[in-house]
Amino acid sequence: MFEDIQNVAEEQLGRELTEKEVNCIEDRLGDYIDWYNSICFSLNDLDK
């Protein structure tokens, strides 16, 4: 996940993040993801 965060930061901010900034992002990611639907979609993929 570290590399993905850095890639987006480079695209959006034009720079890499510090370790402290990456940790902050990692801690907050779950607040922005619809976990219920993500799990449901993954469960549905099991049947395919």
**How high is the pLDDT of residue 14?**
97
Structure tokens that stand for 47 in this block: 């049947």
Structure tokens that stand for 33 in this block: 């993801």
Where in the sequence is the domain holding 18, given as residue range(s)? 2-46
Structure tokens that stand for 34 in this block: 């619809």
Residue 44 has pLDDT above 80, yes or no: yes
Cβ(36)–Cβ(44) below 8 Å: no
Distance CA 47, CA 21 (A): 39
Cβ(4)–Cβ(16) below 8 Å: no
- Looking at the 3D structure of the chain, how many domains does it have? 1
Q: What is the pLDDT of residues 19-35, one digit of tens each?
A: 999 999 999 998 998 98
